[in-house]
Chain A
Amino acid sequence: MEIVPGLITVSSIVGNIRGDPRLAEVYHRMAGKNMAESITISRSESQRSRMRKRSDKGTDIAFTLDQGVHIRHRDVVMLTENKIVVIDIEPEDVAMIEVKENAKDEILNLGIRIGHIIGNLHRPIKIEENRIFFPIQADTEIDMLRNLLHPIADHVEIKKTSMIFEPEEEMKVHAH
């Protein structure tokens, strides 16, 4: 749909190339022919239903999505015969808490402490095996976290890292 010259309106997501092998194949075929474009957005922007963004190749897109629809990393937002536009979510700074092997007997204590602290910060989390990730706004938060987790310091490794943060979906928390 084109109302303003050159402006493409996108009101729904075509699909996601990570979860759809057929779409992934289309993407790789078109990328090989230099027909793939990307739009990089922040995690906060991924929750918006209305915004205007330009792809890396200049395609001007007006998003008017249904409220509550979240854009995901590698979502295809436009697909024509000669163009495929894919979303990239910007990596962001996160704190990583890795629970060490030696924590087995302390797991309940650890789980409650870590859950209590992150819960107090109202942050969304991502869990991967023995690692817990949550977004941070400043490096100083790592020091704060080390202080708060001091009583269990022998059982956890805490460090700052960067990732495309996709929170656990079933846990609805306040978006700080």
Chain B
Amino acid sequence: MGSSRIPRVGIGGPVGAGKTMLIEQVVPILSNEGYRVGIISNDVVSKEDADRMRKNLSTEKGLLSEDLVIGLATGGCPHTAVREDPSMNISVVEEMEEKHSDLDMIIIESGGDNITTTFSPALADYFIYIIDVAGGDKYPRKRGLGIESCDLLVINKIDLAPYVGADLGIMEKDARLVRKSKPYVFVNCKTGQGLKQVASHLIKDVLFELPPKAVAK
């Protein structure tokens, strides 16, 4: 394997599920463990998510340099840019790998999309799909390629369950049924609840529990 290849994590999910916020919560946990992360954020027309993450994670928290948050306005259907033809994303990933060979992980955020979003295996090594309880507790049961095939299913906004009449027990039972042995995590990106578990999955299955590159040197 080319030693320049940096592990890549794809994050997909419907509009408003909390993809950007998930990244804003997980990156500080990984940073705290010494891992350096770069972010590529896809959006349809704007670069708002990337600008927000840059302000939060770079400018305010100083966790990564500003050029490590890149916004990509894909136009059209967001899933095509991460699945059918990921060439635009791959070229940005490769440029980041070349300029920042000391990174431990690159996170690629898909634009908000429908339930069939998946990442091309050529683009991402690991795929997180995020939904939220406000979408209804029947969401996992209704399946869809993203929910079924992702490596980790994240169910966000659990604090809203009582307000939207969502039963977390049903969601958990259905998630277990649809996902078989594959993992799922309930989180609240506003408070950070459950986010350490998400980071643990990434450290175990994507980073193989290896020490951060900066430490390994």
A residues touching B (Cβ–Cβ < 8 Å)?
3-4, 7, 9, 11, 42, 44-45, 47-52, 62, 64-68, 122, 137, 174-176
Q: Knowing A50-B7, A137-B145, A175-B121, say if A4 contacts B85 (CB, 8 Å).
A: no
B residues touching A (Cβ–Cβ < 8 Å)?
1-2, 5, 7-8, 83-85, 116, 118, 120-122, 125-126, 145, 149, 204-206, 208-210
Contact in complex: B210, A3 (CB < 8 Å): yes
Contact in complex: A66, B1 (CB < 8 Å): yes
Question: Given the complex, which residues of B lie within 8 Å of A49, measured CB to CB?
Answer: 1, 5, 121, 125
Could you list some 23 contacts between A and B, CB below 8 A? A3-B210, A4-B208, A4-B209, A7-B208, A11-B1, A44-B121, A44-B149, A47-B121, A48-B125, A49-B125, A50-B125, A50-B206, A51-B125, A51-B126, A51-B205, A52-B204, A52-B206, A64-B1, A67-B1, A67-B2, A122-B84, A137-B116, A137-B145
Which residue of chain B has its CB nearest to the CB of A5?
Answer: B209
Which residue of chain B has its CB nearest to the CB of A9?
Answer: B208
Contact in complex: A176, B83 (CB < 8 Å): yes
Q: Knowing A50-B125, A67-B122, say if A62 contacts B5 (CB, 8 Å).
A: no
Interface centre among B8, B116, B120, B121 (most CB of A within 10 A): B121
User: How many angstroms from the CA of A62 to the CA of B204 in the assembled complex?
Assistant: 10
User: How many angstroms from the CA of A64 to the CA of B210 in the assembled complex?
Assistant: 13
Number of A-B contacts defined by CB within 8 Å: 57
Q: How far is the CB of B87 from chain A (nearest CB, A)?
A: 12
Q: How far is the CB of B147 from chain A (nearest CB, A)?
A: 12
Which residue of chain A has its CB nearest to the CB of B90?
Answer: A67
User: How many angstroms from the CA of A11 to the CA of B1 in the assembled complex?
Assistant: 6
Which residue of chain B has its CB nearest to the CB of A138?
Answer: B143
User: How many angstroms from the CA of A3 to the CA of B216 in the assembled complex?
Assistant: 11
Contact in complex: A42, B149 (CB < 8 Å): yes
User: How many angstroms from the CA of A2 to the CA of B145 in the assembled complex?
Assistant: 35
User: How many angstroms from the CA of A84 to the CA of B84 in the assembled complex?
Assistant: 35
Contact in complex: B204, A44 (CB < 8 Å): no
Q: How far is the CB of B125 from chain A (nearest CB, A)?
A: 4
The 8 Å CB contact of B2, one of A7, A47, A66, is A66
Q: How far is the CB of B35 from chain A (nearest CB, A)?
A: 15
User: How many angstroms from the CA of A42 to the CA of B116 in the assembled complex?
Assistant: 17
The 8 Å CB contact of A52, one of B1, B5, B8, B205, is B205
Which residue of chain A has its CB nearest to the CB of B144?
Answer: A137
Which residue of chain B has its CB nearest to the CB of A46?
Answer: B121
Question: Given the complex, which residues of B lie within 8 Å of A174, measured CB to CB?
Answer: 83-85
Contact in complex: B118, A44 (CB < 8 Å): yes
User: What 5 pairs across the A-B complex have the smallest Cβ distances?
Assistant: A47-B121, A50-B125, A174-B84, A62-B208, A64-B1
Question: Given the complex, which residues of B lie within 8 Å of A66, measured CB to CB?
Answer: 1-2
User: How many angstroms from the CA of A51 to the CA of B205 in the assembled complex?
Assistant: 7
Question: Given the complex, which residues of B lie within 8 Å of A175, measured CB to CB?
Answer: 83-84, 120-121
Question: Given the complex, which residues of A lie within 8 Å of B2, measured CB to CB?
Answer: 66-67
Q: How far is the CB of B155 from chain A (nearest CB, A)?
A: 22
User: How many angstroms from the CA of A62 to the CA of B203 in the assembled complex?
Assistant: 12
Question: Given the complex, which residues of A lie within 8 Å of B210, measured CB to CB?
Answer: 3-4
